[in-house]
């Protein structure tokens, strides 16, 4: 059984990141956490969580297919913070439920860099399971 602590972050794909940046910072009060222009990624602090904004023409945005609209999607994935993060136990749990998961990799999230695993829900939505920062994989 997994123990979920909350949503670590969500990723929004956008054709107009500056407009989203203004909305989330100026209107909703988020703060700029960090930017990774080579990836087309801007990360905003939303309390204990992050909102990641991804340009459609950057490496991350291009990987998601068509942009927001009737035939496209703007949510890339959402991330659930999991603790404890026992990679072998999580993989076994997922396999027992017929869920295929990607490899464990170190990724940055709301609490810092730590292990994570990507998988898909039955509708094809990408879910990231994220462990604590700097945890051993």
| Cα separation, 115 vs 20, whole angstroms | 28
The CA distance from 21 to 77, in Å, is 18
Taking residues 6-25, report their average pLDDT.
Answer: 88
Tell me what pLDDT residue 130 has: 93
pLDDT given at position 44: 93
pLDDT at 123: 64
Q: Tell me the CATH number for domain 4-130.
A: 3.10.180.10
Q: Express each pLDDT in 66-113 by its tens digit.
A: 776 667 667 888 898 888 999 999 999 899 888 899 999 999 999 999
Cα 119–chain centre separation? 11
pLDDT, tens digit, for every residue of 33-78? 999 999 999 999 988 999 899 998 888 877 777 776 667 667 888 8
Cα 52 to Cα 72: distance, rounded to the nearest angstrom: 18
- 76 SS3 class: strand
User: Is it the case that residue 4 has pLDDT exceeding 50?
Assistant: yes
Q: How many CA atoms lie within 13 A of 84 on its CB side?
A: 6
User: Per-residue pLDDT averaged across 20-31, rounded?
Assistant: 87
Report which of residues 120 and 37 the model is more confident about: 37
More confident residue, 115 or 76: 115
**Domain limits, the chain:** 4-130
- Of residues 136, 135, 129, 137, the one with CA closest to residue 8: 129
What is the gyration radius of the CA atoms in the chain, in angstroms?
15
User: In this structure, which long-range contacts are made by residues 97-105, counting pairs with CB atoms below 8 Å and at least 24 apart in sequence?
Assistant: 104/137
Cβ–Cβ < 8 Å for 14, 20: yes
What residues form DSSP beta bridges with 118? 128
pLDDT at 137 over 60: no
């Amino acid at each position: 059984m997994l123990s979920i602590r909350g949503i670590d972050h969500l990723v929004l794909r956008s054709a107009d990141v500056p407009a989203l940046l203004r909305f989330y910072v100026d209107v909703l009060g988020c703060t700029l956490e960090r930017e990774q222009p080579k990836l087309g990624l801007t990360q905003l602090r939303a309390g204990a969580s992050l909102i990641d904004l991804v340009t459609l023409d950057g490496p991350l945005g291009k990987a998601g297919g068509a942009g927001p609209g009737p035939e496209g999607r703007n949510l890339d994935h959402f991330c659930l913070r999991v603790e404890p993060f026992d990679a072998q136990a999580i993989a076994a749990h997922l396999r027992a439920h017929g869920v295929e998961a990607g490899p464990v990799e170190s990724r940055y999230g709301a609490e810092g860099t730590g292990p994570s695993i990507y998988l898909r829900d039955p509708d094809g939505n990408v879910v990231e399971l994220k462990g604590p920062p700097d945890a051993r994989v």
